[in-house]
Amino acid sequence: MPFRSLRIDDLDPIAVAGVQWHPVRHALGLRAFGVNAYGGDAGDEVIEEHTEEGSDHEELYVVLAGRARFELDGEALDAPAGTLVFLPEPGTRRHAVAEEDGTTVLALGGKPGEGYEVSPWEWRFRAQPHIEAEEWEKGVALMRDGLVAQPGDASLLYNLACFETHLGRHDDAVAHLRQARDADAEGVAEWQADDPDLAPLRDRPDFPL
C-alpha cells in the first residue's frame, strides 16, 4: 500500500504517566522518527514534565487542536492551535497543560545525525491496558517484543520481571531483574524500592538488592 492514513481520534488513548497517549508511530508503523500525540481537556497534562537528556533528542510539538500552556525551563508559552514549539536542546525542561477542552498536541522527535530507534518506554505505555486488565501474558509478550528491538534494556527487563512475578514465574523474574540491575543499577534500585509487584520475591535469598 503506497500510503497509510488515520485520524488521531480513531486511536483509543491510553492513560499512562498522567497523560492521554495516542500511539501514532506504532499505529502507522513509522520507523524513521518518533511521533505520538497527547490529548486532554482544560487542566489536563498533555506533555509530562521531562527533559530529553540521555536520548539527546530534538523535539517538535505541534498543537493540533485546543490550546496548551507550555513551561520551558520555567518560561511560560501560550500555544493555541497551529503553534509549533521546537526544542533543539535536550536539556530543556518541558511541560504542557491543556487550556481548553479537546486539546491535542503532536510530538515528534529524534537524535540529529543518527538513525531512529523506537524508545523502550513505548512498549511499557502500550502494556498499560494489559496491566489494568491483569493480562500478564500479554504484558510479557510486549516486553519480549521490545527486547528484540532493544536487547538488554533495563526498563524492559524490569517490567518483564514484574509481569513474570504475577504469573508465578519467580525464577525467571529474579533472573531478568538481575539482568536489569546489571544494565542500570541505580535506576532499577529506585524502581524496585517500593514496587508491590515484586513483593513475592523479596524474601528470596537471590533477590537482587
> Of the residues 77, 110, 143, which one is the last residue of a structural domain?
110
Checking if the pLDDT of 202 tops 70, the result is yes
User: Does 139 lie in the same domain as 106?
Assistant: no
> Residue 96: which of 37, 54, 8, 14 has the closest Cα?
37
Q: What percent of the chain has pLDDT over 70?
A: 100
User: Does 63 lie in the same domain as 18?
Assistant: yes
User: Does 12 lie in the same domain as 105?
Assistant: yes
**Domain contains 153:** yes
Name 4's Cβ contacts closer than 8 Å, sequence gap at least 6: 28, 29
Residue 108's pLDDT band (boundaries 50, 70, 90)?
Answer: very high
> Of the residues 110, 143, 176, which one is the last residue of a structural domain?
110
Say which amino acid occupies 25. R
Q: Could you give the number of structural domains in the chain?
A: 2
User: Does 35 lie in the same domain as 101?
Assistant: yes
All three cell numbers of 206? 537471590
